[in-house]
Amino acid sequence: MLNKIIGFLSGLKMTIVSGVCIAASLVFALTGISVAVDPAWAAVIISGLPIAYAAMEGLFVDRRIYTALLITIAMIASIFIGELFAAGEIAFIMAIGGILEAKTVERAQKGLKNLLSLTPAVGRRISGGREEMIPAEQIKPGDILRVLPGEAMPVDGEIVAGDTSVDQSIMTGESLPVDKGAGDSVYCGTINRFGSVDIRATKVGEDSSLQKLIRMVRDAENNKAPTQRIVDKWAGWLVPIALCIAVIVFFTMHDIVRAVTVLVVFCPCALALATPTSIVAAIGQATKHGIIIKSGDALERMGKADTIAFDKTGTLTHGSLVVSDVIPFNTIIIKDELLSLAAAVESRSEHPLGKAIVAGAEAAKLGIKPSIDFKMIPGKGVSAVLDGRMVLCGNEAWLRENGVGFDAYAEIAMNELRQQGKAAVIVSADGEALGAVALSDTLRTTAKDMIEELKTAKTDTVLLTGDHRQTAEYIAGMLGIKDIHAGLLPEQKVEKIQELRRQGRNICMIGDGVNDAPALKTANVGVAMGGMGSDIAIEAADIALMGDDISKIPYLKRLSNATIKLIRINISLAMCINFTAIVLSVLGVLTPVTGALWHNAASILVVLNAARLYDRKFI
């Protein structure tokens, strides 16, 4: 009950009420209007009680001294000598600082819930030749489970029967479905795209890959403690010094008003506003450019980052397949004819490669003839009859199974495509290999310039991807990234980031997929691609690029650096103002009321200085 009351009093609405009451108290004092009850009492109760509660909780529960204790002492002393306005004004200013800071550090906790929702609830167990749906928690290692097209793998397992293509982007971030057959492993939560398969459960429940992913996100979130407020870091010596000076002033000058004034001006109101106001201005600046920054702490950590680790698919690339190469194996067919032929056969396919081939033919405005007797072999390829010829489109192994041979030129061409990490669909007609249609993800047009800009700023770059080594090296080679780590599962990305951090590096991780969530949490600061990135990645990250504009990364780095510099300037300014106020209080120039007004002037100066950040040019 008490926590609810304190939470209600410290909320925005009640803080506004507190501000109105302080303003009314000041107006009454300046105009000489006499009222039965000074409105400042309301401000003391509304904004003062939460501060006093925080002071007592810190002292007796956390056994730490926070600035709330100094503010509470100053409020009590002001009330004791009848200076209600001073007490209420101090409480109100500190409440405003607390709200600003809270607004910049609060984060939504939806990401973990979204991850939990990906966990399959049931599985189709095969027992005695019969199928039965059972809750996922009842699945045991060794159980045989049937997974139909479109369903998620309920556990980690090994395929014992059937062929399919599996979308395992949730775990590896790969842009292409992976062909799977008997003996291949599958991960919990990955999607069976086509053929029906039977799997033998190997890791179930908390041991599954998806549950490990969830635990990594949860652990990383718990281990990343919130940044302590700068004024609280200094409270351990700020409070004793303030009390000592006030006691010395009282006993040497025998003036309790001066002693109380010292306590009032010692309250770090401007200091409390120095950080949150700068953060609010920076967040507003970033928002104008389509960047969502979730906390001031994230800005500080971004400013310190000296190494930026990139996911590949959906981050450095668009995450969508396009036809990159059309390679005839002989002179009897030209490129357009080969692409048109492949599109005609793939026109009825639901496979992403087939759809990309059809889209490529349509974009080239090629005619797509109708085909008959369409057949699809999951994980291998498709076939159809076109103009009386049996045409096969699929992987090299499947075509060899069907008696298709390849000459030396075809072998060289296919090997080059493999080295470039491209997916190749081989086309044959009546047993003769005609050519290959290669598909690949497309590099973002601004990615290369962005990497070069980071290098100029002496920021290291690393590629962390779940894709194959050849694909990673091909993309990294075009961008100029030398440090490449490919074929990584989520836990391996986390291990690599932890290794880099142990080397003393400050890591910024940039990614877009569910599989990137643990890495985003483990890095010093995580940046998610917000436009096409998964909700889970966005929630796990500290910063989101809402327009998927990777070119904004250098801007973000400059903004972060400028914000940290401005915070330091504001803190220095606030400390100088406080020091001057202490001297004036000891000399008797300031009273508790004028000292409180000094707070207002100092706080306004800090806020105005921070506001300059909002309109500065960083691009």
Give me the active site residues, please.
Answer: 311
Q: Determine the Cα–Cα distance for residues 136 and 305; give it in Å rounded to an integer.
A: 42
The position carrying tokens 């497309």 is 442
CB 93 within 8 A of CB 603: yes
CB 15 within 8 A of CB 47: yes
Contacts (Cβ under 8 Å, ≥6 apart) of 99: 10, 12, 15
Q: Determine the Cα–Cα distance for residues 445 and 182; give it in Å rounded to an integer.
A: 40
Q: Determine the Cα–Cα distance for residues 425 and 126; give it in Å rounded to an integer.
A: 35
Amino acid, res. 31: T
Q: Determine the Cα–Cα distance for residues 186 and 69; give it in Å rounded to an integer.
A: 57
Strand, helix or coil for residue 290: coil
**Ranges of H-type helices in 267-311:** 269-288, 296-304
User: What is the token pair recorded at 82?
Assistant: 């009848």
User: What is the token pair recorded at 542?
Assistant: 């500290």
Strand, helix or coil for residue 468: coil
Specify burial of residue 142 (Cβ count, 10 A radius: 0-12, 13-18, 19+).
exposed
Strand, helix or coil for residue 87: helix
Q: Determine the Cα–Cα distance for residues 362 and 356; give it in Å rounded to an integer.
A: 10
Task: Kindly state the helix (H) or strand (E) to which residue 315 belongs, with its residue range.
Answer: none
Nearest CA to 487 among 353, 309, 312?
312
User: What is the token pair recorded at 202?
Assistant: 């190997």
Count Cβ atoms below 10 Å from residue 369 Cβ, excluding itself. 12
Contacts (Cβ under 8 Å, ≥6 apart) of 400: 406
User: What is the token pair recorded at 32?
Assistant: 């000489």
**Residue 8, CB-side half-sphere exposure with 13 Å CA sphere:** 6
Task: Kindly state the helix (H) or strand (E) to which residue 79 belongs, with its residue range.
Answer: helix 67-80
CA distances from residue 167 to 174, 215, 346 in whole angstroms, order as listed = 8, 22, 19
